[in-house]
Amino acid sequence: MRCRPHLAAFRSGRRHRPALYRTLVADRRLLIVLDNARTAEQVRPLLPGGRGCRVVVTSRNRLPGLLASEGARTVSLDLMDWEQAHSLLVGALGAERIAAEPLAAESLIALSARLPLALSLVAAHAAAHPTWPLETVALDLRRTRQGLDAFTGEDQMTDLRAVFSWSYQLVTGSSARVFRLSGLHPGPDLPVAAAAALAGTTPERVRPALAELERAHLISQLAPERYASHDLLRVYAGELAGSIDKEKECRQALWRLFDHYLRTADAGDQWLRPHRDPAVLPDPAGSPYVLSFGGYQEAFDWFEAEHPNLVVLIEHAAREGFDSHATHLARTITGFLERRGLWNTWVDVMWTAAQASQRSGDLQGQVMAHRYRAHALARQGRLDEALSESETALDLAVRSGDQVAQAWCQRVVAFVLAQQERLKESYDHDLIASELFKASGHRTGQALALNSLGWLHASTFAEYDQSVEYCTQAQRLYQEVDHKLGEAATWDHLGYAQRGLGNQAEAARCYRKALELYQELNDRYYQALMLQNLGDVDHELGDLEAAGGWWELALDLLTELNHPSAETVASKLRSIDS
């Protein structure tokens, strides 16, 4: 009733209303909520002039103008944590129902991406069907998981697409396109370079768009040069790409993305494996943006950051019909996966590559995939499977007529047989590999075969002098071509031979040389083996304290790698304690 004297001013026109509003609230103590503001210009006329009011502004934009000119303070709201999401479900469905199916409740939270509105809609759906098990609700949600239909309410306030659209409508056309195409990226996060590849531009040009999308809360910055959005926003972006962008443009964007990752990974792999055999990459879509690296560590760090994306991209490339990209991506990530000891991932990646190369009729790709998969399986101790894969690779290599490929496959057969302690057969395959490498003039392969023969002379026949001769020849070849990984392996085998000759001090020196090289190369598995070997030498010399120190370091690495030989080292440590 007190406002009636101002009714005439209110009716006099829109331009007078903000001033009237400010006059009315000037001397009052009020908490004012300005919900879903789009710009700072919308908010400023509604900010009271007096000191008695407090204003809460909610927005899908950061509204930096309010921070600069009005002294506003920001409170960024992230997704709910698991405890908050669990409490929401308990409040909606009751503690008894949640406690009866805790795993299904966790699935509902995960499928809703911990987004309050999405989880509220799911909870309402479950509450409307009180006789349904929560697992049935989760299964129903999974069936529609590729879209947002499960998160559609009765009005715009409870329709997830509509709510997302309010943020999407805030951004410019170029930024909107970047957002839509980001939904095509299947990995867990979006590097700036990948966003540039999708958009067909450069990182310098795509950064302003990503910054605008972050201000609109359509993406968030996880770290410098890396962005992400929660799963449901990614689904929304993908839906928009499918409905607004032409199918051909989406296909071209994917092609650019695969090109970027493949050629960047190939450049990085050249630092990790500079002596690998050359490969012809598939034709690019235009001129792909490719990162360059200044050295080994920089390339290794890129793989460390990107391998979760690369693994998903390999599977996605195969699924989308980019079989050649899938095959070559698997090849380029091999050096990193081996040195990080990620053998489960290596096995899976090479299975995808084997299937992709078979579909595309790429015989060399099939040889590569089965050979590396055999190596990875052997590292896991799955020796029967490894032998079958290595024999498949060898058969395919013989069909190809490629002598170098045959030599590599003979070598991996020898490696698996040695793991099975079928040492005479292993030696025979290594001899064949050595002859094939020699006939092909392949110096790196020759060095590998000589080093393997040296190992077998020591471990199988106790011919330690012959072993030293072979391994020294291999070491010279490796040093001539600056092959540090191969050189490290020769120091390891020379250490074993010197132990056989009773030269423990020289053996320890060899193992330390190998350890230094493996540390430089970030090869954690072989670091662990060298630490174990150094412990063995000190144990043979009667220095139990030093032996235990080496073995503890080895055990830490092997445990981190989840390697079965960790128990062997643990047993050695227990023997010292007892």
Using one digit for the tens of pLDDT, what is the confidence trace for 193-232?
A: 999 999 999 999 999 999 999 988 889 898 999 999 888 8
pLDDT beyond 60 at 7? no
Average pLDDT over residues 510-536: 95
Contact call for residues 178 and 209 (beta carbons, < 8 A): yes
The CA dihedral of 85, 86, 91, 97, to the nearest 10 degrees, is: 140
389 — pLDDT class (breaks 50, 70, 90): very high
Domain segments of the chain as ranges: 4-70, 82-160
Q: What is the pLDDT of residue 488?
A: 96
In this structure, what token pair is assigned to residue 277? 């055999």
Q: What is the pLDDT of residue 61?
A: 72
In this structure, what token pair is assigned to residue 321? 């019909």
Burial 71-109 (b: 16+ CB within 10 A, else e): ebeeeeeebbeeeebbebbbebbeeebbeebeebbbbbb
Average pLDDT over residues 502-526: 95
4 — pLDDT class (breaks 50, 70, 90): low
d(CA 323, CA 325): 5
Average pLDDT over residues 521-531: 93
pLDDT beyond 80 at 5? no
For residue 195, the Cα-to-chain-centroid distance in whole angstroms is: 16
Where does 341-481 have alpha helices with state H?
343-360, 363-379, 383-400, 403-419, 423-440, 443-459, 464-480
In this structure, what token pair is assigned to residue 259? 């090109």
d(CA 449, CA 432): 9
Average pLDDT over residues 387-409: 97
d(CA 508, CA 492): 10
152 — pLDDT class (breaks 50, 70, 90): low
d(CA 555, CA 46): 65
Q: What is the pLDDT of residue 63?
A: 78
pLDDT beyond 80 at 182? yes
pLDDT beyond 70 at 156? no
> Which of 143-157, 177-191, 404-418, 472-486 is the least confident region?
143-157
Contact call for residues 328 and 349 (beta carbons, < 8 A): no
Question: Concatenated DSSP letters for 131-157?
Answer: TS-HHHHHHHHHHTTTSSGGG--SSGG
d(CA 130, CA 164): 29
In this structure, what token pair is assigned to residue 512? 């330390």
In this structure, what token pair is assigned to residue 256? 């650019």
Average pLDDT over residues 287-304: 92
% of the chain with per-residue pLDDT over 90: 59
Q: Is the pTM of this model over 0.75?
A: yes
d(CA 526, CA 139): 44
User: How confident is the model over 34-60, as pLDDT tens digits?
Assistant: 887 878 888 888 888 777 788 898 887
Nearest by Cα to 85 from 127, 107, 116: 116
Nearest by Cα to 478 from 502, 494, 462, 463: 494
User: How confident is the model over 468-494, as pLDDT tens digits?
Assistant: 999 999 999 999 989 999 999 999 999
pLDDT beyond 70 at 313? yes
Average pLDDT over residues 318-338: 96
Average pLDDT over residues 298-302: 95
d(CA 342, CA 507): 29
Helix (H, G, I), strand (E, B) or coil at 220: strand
128 — pLDDT class (breaks 50, 70, 90): confident
Helix (H, G, I), strand (E, B) or coil at 222: strand
Question: Concatenated DSSP letters for 290-351?
Answer: ----SSHHHHHHHHHHHHHHHHHHHHHHHHTT-HHHHHHHHHHHHHHHHHHT-HHHHHHHHH
pLDDT beyond 70 at 13? no
pLDDT beyond 70 at 62? yes
Strands ordered across the beta sheet of 220-223: 190-191, 226-228, 220-223
Question: Concatenated DSSP letters for 485-506?
Answer: HHHHHHHHHHHHHHHHTT-HHH
Contact call for residues 363 and 340 (beta carbons, < 8 A): no
Average pLDDT over residues 444-466: 91
Determine how β-strand 190-191 pairs with β-strand 226-228: antiparallel
d(CA 97, CA 80): 21
The position carrying tokens 């396109």 is 177
The position carrying tokens 């809360």 is 217
Helix 566-577 with 524-540: angle, nearest 10 deg? 30
Q: What is the pLDDT of residue 11?
A: 53
Contact call for residues 52 and 30 (beta carbons, < 8 A): yes
**Cα radius of gyration rounded to whole Å, the chain:** 31
> Which of 222-226, 234-238, 284-288, 453-457 is the least confident region?
284-288
Contact call for residues 510 and 495 (beta carbons, < 8 A): yes
pLDDT beyond 90 at 415? yes
User: How confident is the model over 331-374, as pLDDT tens digits?
Assistant: 999 999 999 989 999 999 999 999 999 999 999 999 999 999 99
1 — pLDDT class (breaks 50, 70, 90): very low
Helix (H, G, I), strand (E, B) or coil at 32: strand
Which amino acid is present at 109?
Answer: I
Q: What is the pLDDT of residue 153?
A: 58
Q: What is the pLDDT of residue 3?
A: 47
d(CA 135, CA 127): 13
Measured between alpha carbons, how far is residue 125 from residues 29, 107, 108, 388 in Å? Answer: 41, 15, 11, 50
d(CA 415, CA 338): 15
Which amino acid is present at 97?
Answer: R
